[in-house]
Amino acid sequence: MQELNYREMGLLDEEYEKIKEIMGREPNYLELSIWAVMWSEHCGYKNSRPLLKTFPTEGPRVIQGPGENAGIVDIGDGQALVFKIESHNHPSAIEPYQGAATGVGGIVRDIFTMGARPIASLNSLRFGNIEDARVRELFAGVVAGIGDYGNCLGIPTVGGEVYFNPSYQGNPLVNAMCVGLVNSDEIALAVASDVGSPLMLVGAKTGRDGIHGATFASEELSEKSQQKRPSVQVGDPFMEKLLIEACLQLIKEDLVAGMQDLGAAGLTSSISESASKKGRGVEIDVLKVPRREKGMTPYEIMISESQERMLIVPRAGKEKRIKEIFDTWGLDAVVIGQVTDDGMFRVFEGKKMVGEVPNAELTAGCPVYVRAGQEPSYYQECKRFDIDALPEIKIGEALQKLLGSPNIASKRWVYSQYDYQVMTNTSIIPGNGDAAVLRIKGTDKGVAMTTDCNSRFVYLDPYQGGMLAVCESARNLACVGARPLALTNCLNFGNPEKTHIYWQMQESIKGMAAAAKNLNTPVVSGNVSLYNETAAGAIYPTPVVGMVGLLPDIKHRVDMSFKDEGDIVVLLGRLRDELGGSEYLAVCHGVESGAVPVVDLDEEKKLIELSLELIGKDMLKSCHDISEGGLAVALAESAIKGNIGFKVNIEGQKGRADKTLFSEAPGRVAVSLERDKLPELTAMANNKEIEVHVIGQVEGSNICINKGNQHINMAVCDAAKIWGEAIECHMK
């Protein structure tokens, strides 16, 4: 393999100088590689750390905030949820199937490393225009990769989102989230090891997979990255399944002092991190690492990103029992080194020392860049965009177009490739509710989870867009009856060295932090993916929110489908008419612009409380939040899912029908209920100062909407066909 210089490894001149200063000499090639991977954005968060510090991270239910492999929240009865979302964008752009599969593998390892059994996966995907053949290939590969890996593991993939937008052409986003369940007294935190403790490596053999993947993930995609192709990792879900079972058994039997998965930057990062917790040092012998390929150099062994490997620090005297357990599962576990007391990270090749780096500097010494963001000119221009100048089109035609838009249409083509029911906990399956709901066996509880981000909003107005992403997640959880507890986020942006990109990061993080604080949903884990750019430009800023919630009693859960003839249809929240950044503007007018709807956090919070109260009292038969496509699409989806029609009259609002029906303004949900429950609902809503609009009732087999002199009348089965088959038709 051709040697790279420090710049090719992604280090800046001043960083290289700092390394020389720390070491008091020139680093050798192995040492330089270790510095480069540890000081990459992916491992060191050097561009994002100051911004991440502004997130609220504490709350009464938070057991573990950021800084560990995943965050943990208490769900009562001595149980907790462990969860995190992570990106695998660059590997998926190069090899969609393996890239996505290994993305799932990585996040699942983060969860069981903490002692939790993974109980659900979700994913948030972004692609370019679905009309493009290469995009379809990427989309199909990613979905198959996620499915095949998760299905084989037996972890249900229960939710997520898929969006198509030209800004992701050539730079798709693949963010995978995993949620685990753990007894609070069995949580395993990252290694805090004693001097002399052995380090055991278990799982797959090490090959030349993904060498320099971490630095690779911190670069823009170019022709050059195409040439780096041979570094793609291959996933082995079977191996991972065995690792899960074996590692959870180790924790159950309290055999390990620490456990760390090998992810980005492989052995280097996991060893360095396990030693850094107590200021320890570490030494390892690369010849003891089981290798798959001949002639691997220490450099290759240290930074290989071969998948399905774990680093274990046994409790004193427990090595033998650990080996027995791994043996039962047919896994090899070997001692490759030990913890030392002098804070140095030393690499040996047999007896010969081939590299020596001060460990504390590797982790805590990573430089941090506080950059100056600058508001780009597009921001004000878009805000001023005059929507009234656009012609009003027939709302019936608009609804048809929206239902057929791949961003709104049913994602059945995707989730039918995922086993979403294995483990027999999934109570609200994908597509049936605003969030997935899982029962917790042996209790009455349910947990709900969702991922959300409308990146068009974030692009047009990062501050509002950041708030909107958090609010939508929380609202989605409330719509199934779950109280939002905490969130994880995956911050996907372009090149932070560009001032407008840094501004997008700053502003959206500010918005997310404000909403998270207000809604009492602290940020407990997350991941940052920068440099998501191609020659054509940066992606839309996409800070994806993954949120979990709790249902005290799962029998109250509610889905989105209309149920019975004669039930009244009610809009909770205000009739609003902001159209900026809507799917309607994009699909029907070819415009991605306008002022983004304004978030009222207090109103949002009250609406969430109201929804939870109503659902807790079994007052609602359906509940669906208003998001992409606005009120009209929300109602149509409830009808399609229930296979029953409705008749709705929108009164009390002047102005264009398209604005009222397709506005994606937040803080609203559409519900159905028995007519005689209306007085109680109204009283409860008044209490919370939430507007109640009785807009119609469930009836017949048609979607009927009247607004002023505009009308929609469409058979539910026709709407179902358009909505249900749109993505499938593209993928044939």
Partner 1 sequence: MLKANVYVTLKEGVLDPQGDAVKKSLHVLEYQGVKEVRIGKFIEVCLESKDKESALRELEEMSDKLLANPVMEDYRVEIVEVE
Partner 2 sequence: MRFGVVVFPGSNCDADCYHVIKDVLQEEVDYIWHKESQLGAYDAIILPGGFSYGDYLRTGAIARFSPIMPAVIDFANRGGLVIGICNGFQILLEAGLLPGAMLRNQSLKFICDTAYLKVKRNDTPFTNQLAAGQLMKVPIAHGEGNYYCDEATLEELRRNNQILFTYSNAAGEDSPDFNPNGSIANIAGIINKEGNVLGMMPHPERCSEEVLGGTDGVNIFVSMVKSFQEVIQRCKN
* Binding site residues, partner 2, CB under 8 A: 144, 147-148, 151-154, 236-239, 241-242, 328-330, 415-427, 429, 439, 441, 554-555
Instruction: Please report how many Cα atoms fall inside a 13 Å half-sphere around the Cα of residue 687, on the Cβ side.
Output: 11
Closest approach of Cβ 241 to partner 2, in Å? 6
Tell me the C-alpha distance between 340 and 197, whole Å.
Answer: 8
**Shortest gap between Cβ of 97 and partner 1 (angstroms)?**
9
CA proximity to 648, closest of 712, 597, 586: 712
Catalytic-residue membership of 88 = yes
In this complex, which beta carbon is closest to partner 1, that of residue 63 or of residue 144? 144
Stretch that binds partner 1, among 21-29, 113-121, 207-215, 358-366 (CB under 8 A): 207-215
Distance CA 574, CA 479 (A): 17
Residue 601: half-sphere exposure toward Cβ, Cα within 13 Å: 18
Q: Return the residue of 17, 238, 328, 718 that touches partner 1, per CB under 8 A.
A: 238
Specify the residue, 117 or 228, whose C-beta has the smaller distance to partner 2.
Answer: 117
Q: Which is nearer to partner 2, 434 or 592 (CB)?
A: 434
Q: From CA 23, how far away is CA 19, in angstroms rounded?
A: 6
Closest by CA position to 490, among listed 13, 110, 3: 110
Q: Which of 42, 90, 212, 500 is catalytic?
A: 42
One of 88, 500, 556, 693 is an active-site residue; which one? 88
Q: Is 236 in the site for partner 1 (CB under 8 A)?
A: yes
Restricting to residues 276-305, name those near partner 1 by CB under 8 A: 292-293
Nearer to partner 1, 31 or 95 (CB): 95
Residue 416's binding partner among partner 1, partner 2, none (Cβ under 5 to 8 angstroms by kind) is: partner 2
Of 23, 140, 187, 234, which one interacts with partner 1 (CB under 8 A)? 234
**Shortest Å distance, C-beta 201 to partner 2:** 20
SS3 431: coil
Closest CA to 554 of 661, 453, 435: 435
Q: How far apart are CA 267 and CA 165, in angstroms?
A: 37
Residue 427 interacting partner from partner 2, partner 1, none (CB closer than 5 to 8 Å by kind) = partner 2
- Answer for which of 114, 138, 239, 551 binds partner 1 (CB under 8 A) is 239
- Cα dihedral across residues 299, 301, 306, 308: positive or negative: negative
- 140 scored as a contact of partner 1 (CB under 8 A): no
CA separation for the pair 660, 576 (Å, rounded): 6
Query: Which residues does residue 345 pair with via DSSP β-bridges, in sequence order?
Result: 282, 357
Place of tokens 């779950």: 482
Q: Out of partner 2, partner 1, none, which partner does residue 232 contact, by CB within 5 to 8 A per kind? A: partner 1
* Cα–Cα distance measured from residue 704 to residue 723, given in angstroms and rounded to the nearest whole number: 17
Contacted by 426, from partner 2, partner 1, none: CB < 5 to 8 Å by type: partner 2
Given partner 1, partner 2, none, residue 499, with its beta carbon under 5 to 8 Å by kind, binds none
Q: Could you tell me the two tokens for 395?
A: 């709302």
**CA–CA dist 138, 130 (Å, integer):** 10
How far the first Cα of the chain sits from its last, in Å, is 41
Residue 573, CA distances (Å) to 30, 506, 685 in order: 60, 30, 9
DSSP letters of 108-134?
HHHHHTTTPEEEEEEEEEEES-TTSHH
CA distances in angstroms from 329 to 202, 290, 322, 365, listed in the order given? 11, 17, 11, 39
For partner 2, the closer CB: 326 or 457: 326
CA distances to 8, 226, 267, 592, 710 from 37, rounded to whole Å, are 12, 20, 11, 38, 60
| Position 229 contacts partner 1 (CB under 8 A) | yes
Comparing CB distances to partner 1, the nearer of 158 and 331 is 331
CA distance 475 to 684: 18
Choose from partner 1, partner 2, none: what does 554 bind? Cβ within 5-8 Å by kind.
partner 2
Residue with smaller CB distance to partner 1, 331 or 636: 331
Residue number, 156 or 404, with CB nearest to partner 2: 156
Q: Among residues 546, 539, 477, which one has the least CA distance to residue 111?
A: 546
The token duo for 627 is 């998001």
Determine which residue in the list 46, 61, 88, 208 makes contact with partner 1, applying CB under 8 A: 208
**How crowded is residue 79: how many other Cβ atoms within 10 Å of its Cβ?**
17
Which of partner 1, partner 2, none does 225 bind, CB closer than 5 to 8 A by kind? none
Verify binding: residue 223, partner 1, rule CB under 8 A.
no
Question: Phi then psi for 527, rounded to 5 degrees?
Answer: -155, 150
Contact partner at residue 252 from partner 1, partner 2, none, CB < 5 to 8 Å by partner kind: none
For residue 144, the partner it binds in partner 2, partner 1, none, with Cβ less than 5 to 8 A by kind, is partner 2
| Stretch binding partner 1 (CB under 8 A), from 46-54, 125-133, 203-211, 548-556 | 203-211
How does DSSP assign 264-275, residue by residue? TTHHHHHHHHHH
Kindly tell me which residue out of 274, 306, 527, 542 binds partner 1, with binding defined by CB under 8 A: 306
Round to whole Å and give the CA distance between 296 and 266. Answer: 15
- Regarding 95 and contact with partner 1 (CB under 8 A), the answer is yes
Site for partner 1 in 308-347 (CB under 8 A): 330
Q: Which is nearer to partner 1, 152 or 422 (CB)?
A: 152
Least Å distance between CB 155 and partner 2? 8
Regarding 209 and contact with partner 1 (CB under 8 A), the answer is yes
Q: Tell me which of 204, 246, 264, 661 binds partner 1, using CB under 8 A.
A: 204
Measured CA to CA, the distance from residue 292 to residue 56 in angstroms comes to 44
When CB distances are held under 5 to 8 angstroms depending on the partner's kind, the choice from partner 1, partner 2, none that residue 261 binds is: none
Residue 584 token pair: 């309607």
The number of residues that bind partner 1 (CB under 8 A) is 21
Which residues have a catalytic role annotated? 42, 88
Residues of the shown chain interacting with partner 1 in the complex, contacts defined by CB under 8 A: 94-95, 98, 204, 207-209, 229-230, 232-236, 238-239, 292-293, 306-307, 330
